[in-house]
């Protein structure tokens, strides 16, 4: 604040004595002196009022020395007040230069006051806010304006401030007064409020999700091991109210069989973790019923420092299990249907084949007749193959296939497969290369089934390669396994189909021409048969038109397996003429089988139902009875039981002929009094062997599953 400097005041002097004139003159002198002093006093008062006086200098009449009387004490409270303000206060020029600042300004800017003075306030305002500051300064001439700015300090930090700029008329000139309020704490407070608000909103959301979830949710206090909070779905699934659950430990709700398995998972183990995910368990409801649930438990750490709780979730699987059971049932019915279908389709094929065989032997050599017979024969073969595959597959999927395991030579298996597939390979004009290991390997398995695996692969190679292609079968030996590769240069398999190529009914192209009239089960069967032999099969192809490769990996027989019995019939068999009664409600089947047996030199009679069979048997006294099981009115089982009561029947060897060959089917025929059980279509070699030696059990009857 500019000051006018000390003001000098003259002290009053005493009037001189004497005559009247002199007195008058003296009085005039006194009057003038008083007049001067009055003027001086008025001037001093004016100076004091206008604030242009810091101090008075008075000549002390006692000492004659001047004395200085300071006026500082008068504005000290204002100065102190300004210096101790919480806000920064600054006097600015109209262009924003700092003329004066209090200590708080220096503190806010982190800059000593002498370096602040004389510099524009904009020095400490970030560049993007310069125009805002300029605008405030311009408007401040008309009245106070306020706004928010960020002060940028020399250490790189910024401070949010509220700035109020107002006009400040000093010494008649126009200056501005700026009051700066630090908003840091206020901002922090606002941020805190905002965070609290967000937290509350998030808690409310969580609570809504918790309450409305269709998944049963529960919080468990790990100290008391009791439920502290459950949602409505949890109560609905368990049948208990919230209050009842508060008195329960989580394991109380588990079925006793599951308690030992998962009960301990609710409580933290080593390292304080709880980790139970998607366990399928049963929950005991309040009404005593039990329901399947998917159970998960996890640790919920609390942010407010409270001890952690366990969070349990349960999903009611009742509907899902019902749907799964229905699917399984539908799948089972489908398998059963396929099995029945294949079985029923196969029945008529046997007599047709037998009839064709008879035609071959007995029909006159007329070319048209021979041609017709060949057509029938070819079509029968194709149908038999399809039906056999279907039947095999349904047996395999139902785990009902019977393997005749024995030591078999890898070379023999491959030779059989090549023999089976050779006609198709030749028909399509392919070139086949077969490379076998120098030393033969012995596998432990069912030779026929193993050959079926490779003939399926060779047939496919022949089918899915354009005529004149190349097919290669290469067998090598690894440490304990035989590895057989079947490769072709045919149409290849797209990468998208490759992963499911072994699934049942998968066909890349379902058009009849491309699918080669197959059913899409050859590879599924090959895989199951390989797996039943503890092997692996995989398919590779670089894509369409790039050929395909199938690799079969089969374990070699170990020492104990190499010694298994060789059940294959060896050598030629002596044909003994027998008296045979054939009984089947399918006349074709009975007649063709009878004719074949007659051609083989046996004496044969037929009957088409059980009652008739008993009459024929009584008159014919057969040594051997071939009896179909599935007959109307009196079935095969009942017919057998009645035959056994006859003197002739008690002596006969009664053989069941049936499409069903599972252990329980065999047990049933045994219980009904049958001596043997043959599965249709009967292997002629096996039948011949049995007829030659009826007391011995046949090869299939001694088979191992
Ligand atoms: P099917 O041959 O009766 O259709 P498979 O189960 O044997 O049934 O084969 C399934 C499908 O895999 C075939 O329809 C065919 O699309 C494809 N496939 C199998 N083998 C080959 C191969 N060697 N080359 C190309 N495609 C093949």
Confidence of residue 563 (pLDDT cuts 50, 70, 90): low
pLDDT at 308: 76
145-163 average pLDDT score: 90
**Residue ID of nearest Cα to ligand 1 atom 8:** 520
CA of 460 to the centre of ligand 1 (A): 6
Question: For 38-42, 158-162, 699-703, which range has the lowest pLDDT when averaged over its residues?
Answer: 699-703
Question: What is residue 251's DSSP assignment?
Answer: G
CA 46 to the chain's CA centroid: 93
CA of 329 to the centre of ligand 1 (A): 28
Question: What is residue 623's DSSP assignment?
Answer: S
Q: Mean pLDDT, the chain, as a whole number?
A: 83
Contact between residue 432 and residue 471 where contact means Cβ atoms under 8 Å apart: yes
Selection from 358, 349, 336 nearest residue 600 by Cα: 358
Contact between residue 176 and residue 91 where contact means Cβ atoms under 8 Å apart: yes
Residues above pLDDT 90, as percent of the chain: 38
Q: Is 89 in the pocket of ligand 1 (CB under 6 A)?
A: no
Q: What whole-number distance in Å separates Cα of residue 204 and Cα of residue 199?
A: 8
CA of 520 to the centre of ligand 1 (A): 7
Listing DSSP states for 10-25 in one string gives PPP-PPP--SHHHHHH
Q: Is 621 in the pocket of ligand 1 (CB under 6 A)?
A: no
Q: Is 547 in the pocket of ligand 1 (CB under 6 A)?
A: no
pLDDT at 569: 41
Question: For 59-63, 196-200, 420-424, 603-607, which range has the lowest pLDDT when averaged over its residues?
Answer: 59-63
Q: Which helix (H) or strand (E) holds 2?
A: none
CA of 529 to the centre of ligand 1 (A): 17
Q: Is 469 in the pocket of ligand 1 (CB under 6 A)?
A: no
pLDDT of 10 above 60 = no
Q: Is 498 in the pocket of ligand 1 (CB under 6 A)?
A: no
Q: Which atom of ligand 1 is nearest to the CA of 547?
A: 24
Q: Is 523 in the pocket of ligand 1 (CB under 6 A)?
A: yes
pLDDT at 358: 83
Q: Which of 452, 464, 495 to mutate to test the pocket of ligand 1 (most atoms within 8 A of CB)?
A: 464
pLDDT at 351: 82
114-130 average pLDDT score: 90
Listing DSSP states for 383-434 in one string gives HHHHHHHHHHHHHHHTT------EEEEHHHHHHHHHHHHHHHHHHTT-EEEE
Residue with tokens 């409600």: 585
Structure confidence by residue, pLDDT tens digits, 132-141: 999 999 898 8
119-128 average pLDDT score: 91
Q: Is 669 in the pocket of ligand 1 (CB under 6 A)?
A: no
Q: Is 537 in the pocket of ligand 1 (CB under 6 A)?
A: no
- For residue 303, CA distances in Å to 205, 220, 546 come to 17, 16, 61
**Which comes out higher in pLDDT, residue 67 or 536?**
536
Tokens for 208? 């809504």
Residue with tokens 């009857």: 701
Confidence of residue 6 (pLDDT cuts 50, 70, 90): very low
**Residue ID of nearest Cα to ligand 1 atom 16:** 508
Q: Which of 472, 499, 523, 527 to mutate to test the pocket of ligand 1 (most atoms within 8 A of CB)?
A: 523
Tokens for 701? 């009857």
Q: Is 490 in the pocket of ligand 1 (CB under 6 A)?
A: yes
CA of 492 to the centre of ligand 1 (A): 9
CA of 335 to the centre of ligand 1 (A): 21
Confidence of residue 57 (pLDDT cuts 50, 70, 90): low
Q: Which of 387, 389, 392, 463 to mutate to test the pocket of ligand 1 (most atoms within 8 A of CB)?
A: 463
Tokens for 372? 């017709």
N-term to C-term CA, the chain: 116
Q: What whole-number distance in Å separates Cα of residue 507 and Cα of residue 496?
A: 12
| CA quadruple 407, 409, 415, 421: dihedral, nearest 10 | 40
CA of 327 to the centre of ligand 1 (A): 27
pLDDT at 567: 41
Query: Which residues make Cβ contacts (< 8 Å) with residue 535, sequence separation at least 6?
Result: 481, 552, 553, 554, 555
**Residue ID of nearest Cα to ligand 1 atom 19:** 460
Confidence of residue 98 (pLDDT cuts 50, 70, 90): very high
CA 618 to the chain's CA centroid: 70
Structure confidence by residue, pLDDT tens digits, 645-703: 999 999 899 999 887 777 778 889 999 999 999 887 676 667 888 888 887 665 455 43
Which phi and psi (to 5°) does residue 153 adopt?
Answer: -95, 165
Q: What whole-number distance in Å separates Cα of residue 204 and Cα of residue 692?
A: 88
**Residue ID of nearest Cα to ligand 1 atom 7:** 522
Other beta carbons within 10 Å of 18: 10
Q: Which atom of ligand 1 is nearest to the CA of 517?
A: 3
pTM value? 0.48
Structure confidence by residue, pLDDT tens digits, 418-474: 888 888 899 999 999 999 888 889 999 988 889 999 999 999 999 999 999 999 999
pLDDT at 705: 28
Q: Is 494 in the pocket of ligand 1 (CB under 6 A)?
A: no
Q: Is 133 in the pocket of ligand 1 (CB under 6 A)?
A: no
Structure confidence by residue, pLDDT tens digits, 569-605: 433 444 578 899 999 988 878 887 887 787 777 888 9
Q: Which atom of ligand 1 is nearest to the CA of 488?
A: 23
**Which comes out higher in pLDDT, residue 79 or 431?**
431
CA of 293 to the centre of ligand 1 (A): 41
Residues above pLDDT 70, as percent of the chain: 86
- For residue 136, CA distances in Å to 98, 124, 132, 168, 613 come to 15, 15, 6, 14, 122
**Residue ID of nearest Cα to ligand 1 atom 14:** 507
174-203 average pLDDT score: 90
CA of 13 to the centre of ligand 1 (A): 141
Q: Is 493 in the pocket of ligand 1 (CB under 6 A)?
A: yes
The number of CA neighbours under 13 Å toward the Cβ of 547 is 10
Q: Which helix (H) or strand (E) holds 273?
A: none
The neighbouring-strand residues paired with 120 are: 97
Q: What whole-number distance in Å separates Cα of residue 457 and Cα of residue 418?
A: 10
pLDDT at 275: 72
Q: Which of 397, 460, 463, 491 to mutate to test the pocket of ligand 1 (most atoms within 8 A of CB)?
A: 460
**Residue ID of nearest Cα to ligand 1 atom 13:** 507
Structure confidence by residue, pLDDT tens digits, 335-372: 778 877 887 787 788 788 888 888 887 888 888 888 88
Q: Is 488 in the pocket of ligand 1 (CB under 6 A)?
A: yes
CA of 461 to the centre of ligand 1 (A): 8
pLDDT at 455: 93
170-186 average pLDDT score: 84
Q: Is 491 in the pocket of ligand 1 (CB under 6 A)?
A: yes
Q: What whole-number distance in Å separates Cα of residue 111 and Cα of residue 36?
A: 51
Listing DSSP states for 470-535 in one string gives EEEEEEEE-SSEEEEEEEE-SS---TTTGGGTTSTT--S--SHHHHTT--S-HHHHHHHHHHHTT-
Q: Is 464 in the pocket of ligand 1 (CB under 6 A)?
A: yes
386-409 average pLDDT score: 79
Q: Which atom of ligand 1 is nearest to the CA of 507?
A: 14
Tokens for 611? 């009652």
Q: What whole-number distance in Å separates Cα of residue 443 and Cα of residue 407?
A: 6
pLDDT at 579: 92
**Residue ID of nearest Cα to ligand 1 atom 11:** 507
């Amino acid at each position: 604040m500019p000051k006018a400097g000390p003001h000098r005041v003259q002290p009053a002097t005493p009037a001189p004595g004497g005559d009247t004139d002199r007195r008058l003159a003296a009085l005039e002198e006194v009057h003038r002196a008083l007049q001067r002093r009055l003027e001086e006093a008025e001037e001093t008062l004016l100076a004091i009022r206008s604030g242009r006086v810091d101090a008075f200098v008075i000549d002390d009449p006692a000492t004659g020395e001047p004395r200085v009387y300071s006026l500082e004490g008068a504005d000290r409270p204002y100065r102190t007040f300004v210096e101790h303000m919480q806000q920064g206060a600054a006097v600015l020029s109209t262009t924003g230069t700092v003329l004066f600042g209090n200590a708080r300004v220096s503190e806010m800017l982190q800059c000593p006051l002498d370096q602040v003075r004389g510099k524009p306030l904009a020095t400490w305002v970030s560049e993007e806010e310069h125009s805002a500051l300029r605008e405030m300064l311009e408007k401040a001439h008309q009245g106070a304006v306020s706004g928010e700015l960020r002060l940028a300090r020399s250490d790189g930090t910024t401070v949010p401030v509220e700035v109020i700029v107002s006009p400040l008329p000093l010494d008649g000139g126009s200056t501005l007064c700026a009051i700066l309020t630090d908003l840091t704490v206020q901002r922090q407070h606002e941020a805190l409020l905002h965070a609290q608000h967000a937290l509350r909103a998030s808690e409310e959301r969580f609570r809504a999700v918790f309450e409305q979830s269709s998944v049963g949710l529960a919080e468990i206090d790990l100290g008391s091991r009791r439920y502290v909070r459950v949602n409505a779905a949890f109560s609905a699934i368990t049948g208990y109210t919230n209050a009842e659950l508060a008195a329960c430990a989580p394991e109380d709700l588990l079925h006793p069989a599951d308690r030992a398995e998962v009960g301990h998972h609710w409580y933290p183990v080593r390292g304080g973790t709880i980790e139970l995910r998607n366990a399928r368990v049963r929950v005991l409801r309040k009404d005593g019923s039990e329901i399947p649930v998917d159970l998960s438990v996890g640790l919920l750490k609390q942010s407010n420092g409270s001890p952690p709780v366990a969070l349990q979730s349960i999903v009611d699987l009742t509907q899902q299990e019902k749907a799964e059971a229905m699917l399984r049932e539908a799948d089972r019915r489908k398998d059963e249907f396929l099995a029945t279908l294949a079985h029923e389709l196969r029945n008529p094929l046997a007599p047709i084949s037998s009839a064709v065989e008879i035609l071959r032997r007995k029909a006159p050599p007329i070319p048209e007749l021979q041609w017709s017979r060949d057509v029938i024969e070819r079509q029968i073969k194709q149908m038999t193959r399809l039906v056999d595959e279907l039947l095999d597959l349904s047996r395999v999927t139902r785990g009902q296939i019977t393997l005749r395991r024995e030591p078999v030579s890898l070379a023999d298996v491959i030779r059989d497969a090549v023999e089976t597939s050779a006609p198709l390979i030749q028909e399509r004009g392919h070139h086949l290369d077969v490379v076998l290991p120098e030393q033969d390997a012995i596998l432990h398995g069912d030779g026929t089934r193993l050959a079926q695996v490779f003939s399926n692969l060779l047939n496919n190679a022949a089918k899915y390669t354009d005529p004149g292609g190349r097919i290669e079968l290469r067998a090598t030996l690894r440490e304990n396994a035989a590895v057989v590769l079947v490769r072709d240069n045919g149409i290849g398999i797209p990468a998208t189909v490759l992963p499911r190529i072994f699934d049942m009914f998968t066909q890349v192209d379902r058009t009849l021409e491309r699918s080669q009239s197959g059913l899409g089960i050859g590879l599924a069967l090959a895989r199951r048969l390989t797996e039943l032999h503890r092997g692996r099969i995989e398919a590779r192809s670089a894509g369409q038109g790039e050929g395909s490769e199938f690799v079969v990996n089969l374990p070699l027989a170990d020492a104990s397996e190499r010694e298994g019995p060789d059940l294959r019939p060896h050598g030629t068999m002596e044909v003994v003429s027998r008296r045979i009664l054939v009984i089947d409600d399918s006349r074709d089947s009975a007649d063709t089988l009878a004719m074949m047996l007659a051609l083989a030199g046996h004496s044969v009679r037929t009957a088409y139902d059980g009652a008739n069979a008993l009459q024929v048997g009584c008159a014919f006294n057969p040594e051997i009875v071939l009896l179909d099981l599935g007959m109307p009115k009196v079935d095969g089982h009942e017919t057998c039981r009645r035959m056994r009561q006859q003197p002739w029947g008690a002596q006969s060897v009664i053989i069941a002929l049936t499409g069903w060959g599972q252990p329980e089917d065999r047990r049933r025929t045994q219980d009904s009094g049958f001596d043997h059980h043959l599965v249709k279509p009967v292997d002629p070699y096996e039948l011949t062997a049995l007829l030659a030696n009826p007391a011995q059990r046949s090869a299939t009857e001694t088979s191992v599953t």
